[in-house]
């Protein structure tokens, strides 16, 4: 992993969390309900879906990436007084989720500098700590509870123009900028043109996201059994990231290309998952300079499983007696704990 310094990540998180602290109101509202059940189909794959699964849209591309972090975890990272002097995360079990945290901070900075900031601030009724940041399909999204009617009225007052709408969602374009915003009762989503990808349409991407969240489009997990099984196998909460392909295995460019980019040079390290078709990672961070990591790696066939590659690439910074690799057919699960190597020096 390159171009990522923990000090930079924590500095950006500070800015992003300062933004959230100023615009999230305590109320009796709650976050979105868990859309999952425990009807997994085999072995390790028998868990719940993440609460935001119903907003992850289907796309025409074979590869798929998303990352998520909850507000409580962001606060925990910030309360680590020695975080800025800590070691850089070189272990992908820690490093990939930390990049998601950096991506979240960057996305919050973008929102804080937009004309939609006031509209979002006044109409976010999420209960404290329950909001989640999700990045998927080139779209930044805050998942919580919102006053949609008041939000759309305020966006129009801020000069946003209606691009499309359904019974339970609306998509707006910002006047005087290239920001696209979409809203439902549970999702505030936004995106921008991608300078490195001229084929990316932020309006279409935001509409896919909010239409899926509103129930007007089929979510990714309902359309792809392999994706659903991967989500159910992975741990949720804290920081999560997921890379998946409908092909038999990841294409080399999928593993080497950034899944997101900005001026800070975000980089993920997915080389260890060559030959696989799905990986779901989760990182839980406590306030005592410790962390727990979990990963589930799926392959399209048992003959493609490369456990030795995973063992040589992952968990290098973990407490040795806590690092566990388990195989169930074509699925590998990895668990690890981080104490001294994750804590500050």
* Strand-pair category, 161-165 with 170-173: antiparallel
What ranges do the domains of the chain cover?
A: 6-338
Cβ 313 vs Cβ 336: under 8 Å: no
Residue length, the chain? 345
Structure tokens at 307: 């456990």
How far is 103 from 73, CA to CA, in rounded Å? 14
What's the rounded mean pLDDT across residues 19-24? Answer: 50
- Above 50 in pLDDT, residue 85? no
- pLDDT tens digits, one per residue of 61-76: 999 999 999 887 877 7
How much is the pTM? 0.86
* Strand-pair category, 139-143 with 187-191: antiparallel
- pLDDT tens digits, one per residue of 282-326: 998 876 667 899 999 999 999 999 999 999 999 998 988 999 999
Q: What is the structure's pLDDT at 103?
A: 87
HSE toward the beta carbon, residue 301, CA cutoff 13 A: 5
E-strand spans in 130-258? 132-136, 139-143, 161-165, 170-173, 180-183, 187-191, 239-245
């Amino acid at each position: 992993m390159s171009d990522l310094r923990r000090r930079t990540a924590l500095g950006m998180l500070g800015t992003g969390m300062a933004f959230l602290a100023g615009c999230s109101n305590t109320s009796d509202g709650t976050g979105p309900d868990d859309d999952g059940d425990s009807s997994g189909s085999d072995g390790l794959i028998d868990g719940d879906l993440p609460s935001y699964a119903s907003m992850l849209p289907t796309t025409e591309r074979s590869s798929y990436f998303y990352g998520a972090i909850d507000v409580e975890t962001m606060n925990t990272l910030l309360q680590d007084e020695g975080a800025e002097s800590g070691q850089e995360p070189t272990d992908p079990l820690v490093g990939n989720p930390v990049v998601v945290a950096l991506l979240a901070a960057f996305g919050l900075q973008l929102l804080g500098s937009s004309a939609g900031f006031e509209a979002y601030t006044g109409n976010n009724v999420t209960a404290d700590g329950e909001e989640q940041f999700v990045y998927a399909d080139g779209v930044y999204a805050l998942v919580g509870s919102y006053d949609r009617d008041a939000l759309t009225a305020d966006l129009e007052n801020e000069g946003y123009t209606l691009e499309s709408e359904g019974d339970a969602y609306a998509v707006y374009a910002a006047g005087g900028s290239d920001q696209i915003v979409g809203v439902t009762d549970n999702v505030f989503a936004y995106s921008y043109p991608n300078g490195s990808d001229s084929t990316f349409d932020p309006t279409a991407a935001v509409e896919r996201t909010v239409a899926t969240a509103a129930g007007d489009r089929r979510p990714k997990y309902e359309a792809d059994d392999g994706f659903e099984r991967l989500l159910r196998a992975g741990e949720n909460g804290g920081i999560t990231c997921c890379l998946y392909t409908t092909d038999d295995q990841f294409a080399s460019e999928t593993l080497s290309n950034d899944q997101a980019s900005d001026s800070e040079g975000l980089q993920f390290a997915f080389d260890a998952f060559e030959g696989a078709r799905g990986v779901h990672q989760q990182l839980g961070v406590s306030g005592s300079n410790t962390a727990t990591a979990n990963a589930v790696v799926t392959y399209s066939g048992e003959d493609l499983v490369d456990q030795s590659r995973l063992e040589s690439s992952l968990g290098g910074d973990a407490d040795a007696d806590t690092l566990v690799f388990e195989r169930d057919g074509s699925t590998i699960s990895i668990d690890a704990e981080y104490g001294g190597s994750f804590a500050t020096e």
